[in-house]
């Protein structure tokens, strides 16, 4: 029922197409994330209409995403995040299901900024080809062989600010999969402001501030690793507060 309500509100936004959105790609940017409930999303969406366009892909507003993350056997990318390394990477194949586009993407975070590099691929593969591995190395990653670590599916609303250089993504229905294990994050939203520079006068940032929702540094990849591989098998003490935050939000919904 909540998804139907979100869809209904989304239909009232002014649309923007993929080609029109090209001017706001923000491949080098500052990211600010927020985590809250579906109920808060339903309360917030209507007041964003005057300030944001909503991506419309052939009539589809809530787009489906699939991602396959890679790491080495020591989970270096995971532990770089866990240990608060300021210079760190993520590697994934991502498929934009509704538009049938797929990319190999490398996200390089350094001193608070995110630089994303990507190349087009035909689909999400089972293993990384030599050509793709060469691209990954060209972004500055060195180390052991990268292997698949988890699958992640979610639905996304993508907004573009009408007045400033800013995009906003809202992800819901997060599902993490690996081998025979599936974990879902129910009724929780992860929103991300993507800006050329941090702008606290952003309408969405102000909407969060008015609701006393503070930014939260959170990674879908690290949360997925913990949920799929288990707290007994992987160190996660620096993420405990974030996991408790997710659990509290889920308990508030139920």
Six-digit token pair at 126? 């089972």
Greatest C-alpha distance within the chain: 49
115-137 per-position pLDDT tens digit: 999 999 999 998 999 999 999 99
> Which of 3.20.20.80, 2.40.320.10, 3.40.640.10, 2.60.40.10 is the CATH number of 2-253?
2.40.320.10
Closest CA to 214 of 205, 224, 223, 222: 205
Look up residue 145 and give its DSSP letter: P
Residues of the chain with pLDDT under 70: 1, 23-27, 253-254
Structure confidence at residue 111 (pLDDT): 83
Burial of 101-134, coded b for 16+ CB within 10 Å and e otherwise, reads ebbbbbbbbeeeebebbbeebeebeeebeeebbe
The contacts of residue 231 (CB under 8 Å, 6+ apart) are none
Structure confidence at residue 254 (pLDDT): 60
Structural domain spans, the chain: 2-253
Six-digit token pair at 89? 């990477």
Look up residue 128 and give its DSSP letter: -
- What are the C-alpha distances in Å from 42 to residues 2, 47, 113, 117? 8, 10, 30, 33
Structure confidence at residue 20 (pLDDT): 86
Structure confidence at residue 26 (pLDDT): 63
Residue with tokens 């288990």: 230
């Amino acid at each position: 029922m909540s998804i139907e309500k979100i869809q209904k509100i989304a239909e009232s936004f002014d649309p923007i197409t993929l080609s029109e959105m090209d001017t706001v790609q923000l491949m080098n940017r500052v990211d600010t994330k927020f985590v809250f409930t579906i109920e808060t999303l339903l309360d917030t969406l209507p007041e964003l209409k005057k300030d944001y366009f909503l991506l419309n892909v052939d009539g589809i507003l809530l787009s489906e995403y699939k991602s396959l993350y890679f790491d080495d056997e020591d989970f270096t990318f995971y532990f770089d995040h866990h240990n608060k390394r300021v210079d760190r990477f993520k590697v994934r194949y991502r498929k934009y299901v509704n538009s049938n586009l797929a990319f190999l993407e490398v996200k390089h975070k350094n001193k608070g900024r995110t630089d994303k590099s990507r190349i087009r691929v035909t689909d999400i593969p089972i293993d990384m080809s030599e050509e793709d591995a060469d691209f990954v190395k060209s972004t500055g990653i060195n180390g052991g062989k990268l292997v698949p670590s988890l699958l992640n599916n979610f639905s996304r609303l993508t907004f573009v600010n009408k007045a400033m250089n800013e995009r906003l993504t809202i992800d819901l229905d997060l599902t993490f999969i690996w081998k025979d294990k599936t974990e879902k994050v129910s009724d929780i939203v992860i929103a991300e402001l993507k800006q050329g520079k941090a702008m606290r006068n952003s309408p969405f940032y102000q909407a969060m501030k008015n609701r006393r929702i503070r930014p939260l540094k959170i990674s879908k990849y690290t949360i997925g690793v913990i949920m799929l591989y288990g707290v007994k098998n992987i160190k996660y003490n620096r993420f405990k507060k974030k996991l408790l935050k997710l659990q509290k939000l889920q308990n508030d919904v139920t």
